[in-house]
């Protein structure tokens, strides 16, 4: 067996950073990764514009008079506005182009308008121009998006302002999922005895963590059927399986995959749960992640190993599971020689304390469902006393989206 940290190191050393990219519509770009820097093609704003509703006048005229004749208006949507003479003014609205040069904006609350005479009398002068200047937001050829930047909702808004219709992003890894087991209830195996809960778990995490799920299949523990299915899988980056990777009579996954040139990089990790988790390469450019069939083991392995795969594939820390320092509410004995992934519960909504569930059996999906986080205990970690700070991977907040 190898250690958990060594397993992660092996993944990092063997997963090549993908250089594949594609163009996507900006409305489909959320949480995608920019594949090359993007420069602005124009200034924003394209002209000097008003930041207020009011009137626009020559700035120097304020020293001579406070009464001006209104000769027109400038409104948002106009590309330009014709200039006017000294002693005159125009109504101007937020976002409208400022005509000519040497102008200032007087907000509407700072003047009185005499409609019949078409005159305005300024009642208050502020030491502000109330203008937004050409290129103040961004100038032409400014780098607005960097390579490897993750697109947020705010990013999409900027892209729209820049006039972009598509963005070059890194291609998602294509992923196939195969669930194995004679015991699973499927349309082809209605006499099975348990539901295939790992299917929904794996599928959701693939999509949540940035993979492109190409298909999910369920097969019995039959070498011929499994091999036949493999032959039909094309154009993928990662194959994920669940079940059939231990050393029992009916654990046929690795045996069959070796016929497809699987090179196992690790297949027994000193962890609990998830010891039989397997990782390897299929040929030169495809990867294999074999997950245990046990539901909790499957979840733990998928959470930590698949997130590592995604980060290595993209070459950035795309998935960052939230970590939090919390106080344990009871004593915990010295850890054994394994890395233990312990399901924990927070004590109240506002507290910074947690407790470890007593029943850590890897079949307990009710405990997994109720868990607020995972406490990863290092091998041979010393006894932990009540009140000690521990590093917790927070499940309830790990998947909050960056906006």
The CATH code of the domain that includes 27 is: 3.90.105.10
* Element holding 279 (H helix, E strand): strand 278-282
DSSP string across 290-324:
EEPSSHHHHHHHIIIIIHHHHHHHHTS------EE
The CATH code of the domain that includes 67 is: 2.170.190.11
Residue 103 included in any domain: yes
Query: What is the number of other CB atoms lying within 10 angstroms of the CB of residue 148?
Result: 16
pLDDT of residue 277: 96
Say yes or no: 220 and 101 in one domain: no
* Last residue of one domain, picked from the residues 314, 337, 358: 314
**Cα 181 to Cα 1, 186, 213, distances in angstroms:** 25, 10, 21
The Cα 90–Cα 96 span in angstroms is: 11
pLDDT of residue 215: 96
Residue 403 included in any domain: no
User: N- to C-terminal Cα distance for the chain?
Assistant: 41
pLDDT tens string for the chain (403 positions)? Answer: 999 999 999 999 999 999 999 999 999 999 999 999 999 999 999 999 999 999 999 999 999 999 999 999 999 999 999 999 999 999 999 999 999 999 999 999 999 999 999 999 999 999 999 999 999 999 999 999 999 999 999 999 999 999 999 999 999 999 999 998 777 767 777 766 677 789 999 999 999 999 999 999 988 888 898 999 999 999 999 999 998 887 766 578 998 999 889 999 999 999 999 999 999 999 888 999 999 989 999 999 999 999 999 999 999 999 999 999 999 999 999 999 999 999 999 998 778 999 999 999 988 999 999 999 999 999 999 999 999 999 999 997 644 566 7
Residue 400 sits at the vertex; the CA angle it makes with 324 and 153, to the nearest 5 degrees, is 130
The CATH code of the domain that includes 263 is: 3.40.980.10
pLDDT of residue 353: 95
pLDDT of residue 397: 63
Say yes or no: 61 and 183 in one domain: no
Residue 65 included in any domain: yes
Say yes or no: 260 and 332 in one domain: no
DSSP tag of 374: E
Say yes or no: 177 and 291 in one domain: yes
Number of domains in the chain: 4
Q: Which residues span the domain enclosing 383?
A: 323-398
Residue 356 included in any domain: yes
pLDDT of residue 248: 66
**Cα 372 to Cα 83, 335, 389, 393, distances in angstroms:** 64, 21, 16, 9
Say yes or no: 369 and 352 in one domain: yes
Lookup result for tokens 């420069």: 39
**Paired tokens of 193:** 């005895």
pLDDT of residue 344: 97
**Cα 265 to Cα 128, 257, 274, 280, 398, distances in angstroms:** 67, 13, 16, 5, 28
pLDDT of residue 387: 96
Say yes or no: 229 and 181 in one domain: yes
pLDDT of residue 251: 75
pLDDT of residue 252: 87
3-state secondary structure of 358: coil
Residue 330 included in any domain: yes
* Last residue of one domain, picked from the residues 73, 104, 132: 132
């Amino acid at each position: 067996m190898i250690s958990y940290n060594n397993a992660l190191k092996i993944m990092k050393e063997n997963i090549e950073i993908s250089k594949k990219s594609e163009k996507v519509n900006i409305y489909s770009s959320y949480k995608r990764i920019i594949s090359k820097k993007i420069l602005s093609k124009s200034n924003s704003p394209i002209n000097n514009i008003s930041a207020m509703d009011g009137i626009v006048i020559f700035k120097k005229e304020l020293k001579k008079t406070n009464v001006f004749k209104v000769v027109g208006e400038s409104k948002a949507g106009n590309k330009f506005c014709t200039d006017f003479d000294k002693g005159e003014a125009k109504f101007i609205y937020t976002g409208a182009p400022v005509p000519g040069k040497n102008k200032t904006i007087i907000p509407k609350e700072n003047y009185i308008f005499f409609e019949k005479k078409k005159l305005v009398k300024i009642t208050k002068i502020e030491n502000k121009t109330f203008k937004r200047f050409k290129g103040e937001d961004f100038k032409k050829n400014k780098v607005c998006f960097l390579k490897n930047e993750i697109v947020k909702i705010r990013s999409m808004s900027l892209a729209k302002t820049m006039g972009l219709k598509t963005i070059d992003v890194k291609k998602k890894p294509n992923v196939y999922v195969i669930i194995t087991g004679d015991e699973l209830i499927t349309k082809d195996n209605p006499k099975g005895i348990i539901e295939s809960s790992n299917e929904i778990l794996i599928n959701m995490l693939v999509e949540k963590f940035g993979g492109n799920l190409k298909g999910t299949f369920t097969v019995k523990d039959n070498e011929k059927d499994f091999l036949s299915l493999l032959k039909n899988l094309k154009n993928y980056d990662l194959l994920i399986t669940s079940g059939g990777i231990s050393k029992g009579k009916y654990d046929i996954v690795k045996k069959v995959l070796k016929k497809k040139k699987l090179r196992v990089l690790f297949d027994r990790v000193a962890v609990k749960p998830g010891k039989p988790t397997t990782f390897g390469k299929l040929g030169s450019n495809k990867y294999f992640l074999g997950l245990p069939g046990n539901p909790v083991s499957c979840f733990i392995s998928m959470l930590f190993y698949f997130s590592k795969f995604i980060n290595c594939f993209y070459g950035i820390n795309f998935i960052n599971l939230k970590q939090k320092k919390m106080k344990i509410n009871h004593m915990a004995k010295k850890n054994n020689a394994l890395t233990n992934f312990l399901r924990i519960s927070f004590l109240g909504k506002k507290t910074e304390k947690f407790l470890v569930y007593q029943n850590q059996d890897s079949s307990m999906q009710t405990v997994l469902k109720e868990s607020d986080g995972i406490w990863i205990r290092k091998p041979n970690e010393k006894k932990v006393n009540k009140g000690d700070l521990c590093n917790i991977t927070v499940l309830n907040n790990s998947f909050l989206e960056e906006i």
